[in-house]
C-alpha cells in the first residue's frame, strides 16, 4: 500500500510541476501580427530592419509574418555608421494582421500600411 501511495504522490507532484511550468511559460498580454513585405520581392533589402530595438532576420522571398505585442512599434532601417533611419510607426491590434509594404526602390525606403478590420472606428495602421 505504501508503494502505491508514494507513486500516486509522485505522480501528483509531477503533474503539479508540469502544470506550473505550462502556466509560467504561457505568453502574457495581448498580441497581434505584423506582415512585412518588400517590393520588389526579388531585390534584397540592403539595410537591416528593426522593430523598436529588435533586429529582424533578413526577409526571405519578400514576406515575413511576426507575432508582436499590442501597441505602436517603430520600424527602422540601419543607416550609415550604425545610425537608425525611422521608416514608420506600426499600430498592432489584438488578434489582427497589420500589413506593411516597404518599397525598396525609393530612397529612402517608404512604408505603406494596411490594417483589415470590420470596425470603422479603428485607429490607422501606420503613422509616418
Domains in the chain, ordered, with CATH?
31-127 (2.60.40)
The predicted structure's pLDDT at residue 74: 92
In which residue are the cell numbers 533611419 written?
85
Residue 120 has pLDDT above 50, yes or no: no
Q: pLDDT > 90: what percent of the chain?
A: 7
Give the mean pLDDT of the chain: 75
Q: How far apart are CA 128 and CA 122, in angstroms?
A: 17
The predicted structure's pLDDT at residue 1: 55
The predicted structure's pLDDT at residue 95: 86
- Are 27 and 93 in contact by the 8 Å Cβ rule? The answer is no
Q: Does an H or E element contain 95, and which?
A: none
Is the overall model pTM greater than 0.95, yes or no?
no
Amino acid at each position: 500500500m505504501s508503494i502505491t501511495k508514494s507513486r500516486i504522490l509522485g505522480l501528483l507532484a509531477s503533474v503539479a510541476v508540469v502544470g506550473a511550468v505550462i502556466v509560467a511559460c504561457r505568453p502574457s498580454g495581448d498580441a497581434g501580427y505584423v506582415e512585412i513585405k518588400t517590393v520588389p520581392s526579388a531585390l534584397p533589402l540592403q539595410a537591416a530592419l528593426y522593430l523598436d530595438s529588435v533586429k529582424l532576420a533578413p526577409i526571405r522571398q519578400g514576406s515575413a509574418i511576426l507575432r508582436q505585442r499590442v501597441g505602436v512599434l517603430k520600424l527602422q532601417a540601419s543607416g550609415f555608421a550604425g545610425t537608425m533611419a525611422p521608416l514608420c510607426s506600426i499600430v498592432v491590434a489584438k488578434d489582427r494582421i497589420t500589413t506593411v509594404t516597404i518599397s525598396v526602390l525609393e530612397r529612402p525606403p517608404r512604408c505603406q500600411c494596411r490594417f483589415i478590420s470590420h470596425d470603422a472606428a479603428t485607429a490607422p495602421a501606420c503613422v509616418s
